[in-house]
Structure 1
Amino acid sequence: MTATALIVIDVQNEYFTGGLPIAFPDREQSVARIASAMDAARAHDLPVVVVRHRTPPGAPIFADGSAGHALHPAVAARPADLVFDKAQASCFADTELADWLAARAIPRVTLVGYMTQNCVDATARHATQLGLAVEILADACGAPDYANEAGRASGEELHRATLVALHAGFGAVGSTEAWIASLDGGPALAEGSIPASVAAAR
């Protein structure tokens, strides 16, 4: 049984040269860590799943066949065991992913990609509802800046707050370096909890 599958979420040109620029962490640094995670997974014979967000032709972002829909070159250049498109935030919503993992008896997913507060968050929460263990590599994800009728939030705020919430109950959050070390026999990424998170904040 393979311990985990690396899920590479929406590492597409839309976040680099399109309408949704990742603001935090630095997108060139985060995509380099995503590439490192893919290389480490391959070196340890872990399956790599690459997911793209797709909207209908002519849509303002992620339009099918557009430059924004295409994978970032760092991901496109690396091998993957499964590549598919999704139309919703969660990689599990109306896709083959859950069945694909179940058929291979894979109990855990490690998430990298974009956006932290949207598709990474939705995928992590959905995975736990399916009974999967979850890891999120904080420095291999990223968020844009937001401003709307509800207020403003920087990419750093969105990224940090989302990961704090996820670590409290939906997955073990850690660095790419620590995750790769765990593949080499080091300690697994530590899990958190809501009670421990509240107690630590007092």
Structure 2
Amino acid sequence: MTMTDTALLVMDLQNAMADRVPDGGYVPRLAGAVAAARDAGIPVLHVVVGFRDGHPEKNPRNKTFGALPDGAFTPGDPNAAIHPDVAPRPGEPVITKKRVSAFAGSDLDLVLRSGGIEHLVLTGIATSGVVLSTLRQAADLDFRLTVLADGCADSDEEVHRVLTEKVFPRQAEVLTIDEWTKSLE
């Protein structure tokens, strides 16, 4: 199976989000998926929330981002850094988004299409946030999709279950990290 058209998206694995995941095995599991992708020659793209100093992109009508405190997710915010266990290696793109979807306010589509990527493997925090929004937009953009169910985390376990078991399978293949990494061998 050729993987040259596949990319692993590691989304919102920033310290502020990763530190709130109650499952202590989550980040190590995801680090294993990142290592497997690298070993298989699959590009790893890191997607982060990021704003300019002063938050000129912030809109008070936006319930998610309108209430962010000054300085949050700006270049100087240590909580905006990617968790060190899944940090980018030199040459791995970091895509900065301005809203929930990895495509919103970013150059993700340009980077993917320029790299000949047609298949996205989605992971991230939160299942009901970046993963859901990115999956829906990527499906509308005709990408082939895989979601690594245990590579996603959400503060609501039931929402995570419903999404990964009932909603996502309509538009994506849903696998565990272990199932996916075995398919790369």
The alignment's TM-score, normalised by the length of structure 2, stands at 0.82
User: Given the alignment of the two structures, is residue 156 of structure 1 paired with residue 148 of structure 2, yes or no?
Assistant: no
The 1:77/1:167 distance shift into structure 2, 3 A limit, reads closer
- Identity, % of aligned positions: 35
The 1:177/1:80 distance shift into structure 2, 3 A limit, reads farther
- Pairwise CA distance, 1:80: 5.5
Please list the CA deviations of residues 42-99 of structure 1 after superposition, one character each: whole Å capped at 9, or x if unmatched.
1111111001112455733842121221111112264552112111111112211112
- Pairwise CA distance, 1:22: 2.3
The 1:78/1:29 distance shift into structure 2, 3 A limit, reads farther
* Structure 2: stretches of 5+ with no match in the other structure: 55-67
The 1:77/1:92 distance shift into structure 2, 3 A limit, reads closer
User: Given the alignment of the two structures, is residue 138 of structure 1 paired with residue 149 of structure 2, yes or no?
Assistant: yes
Letter in 2 for 1:50: H
* Structure 1: stretches of 5+ with no match in the other structure: 145-154, 185-202
- Pairwise CA distance, 1:40: 0.7
Letter in 1 for 2:4: T
SS state at 1:128 partner: helix
Q: Which residue of 2 aligns with 1:2?
A: 4
SS state at 2:25 partner: helix
- Pairwise CA distance, 1:176: 0.3
Q: Say what the alpha-carbon RMSD is for the aligned residues.
A: 2.0
Size of the aligned set, in residue pairs, is 168
Please list the CA deviations of residues 129-172 of structure 1 after superposition, one character each: whole Å capped at 9, or x if unmatched.
0000111111111011xxxxxxxxxx211211121243331211
**Contact 2:88-2:94 at 8 Å conserved across structures:** no
The alignment's TM-score, normalised by the length of structure 1, stands at 0.76
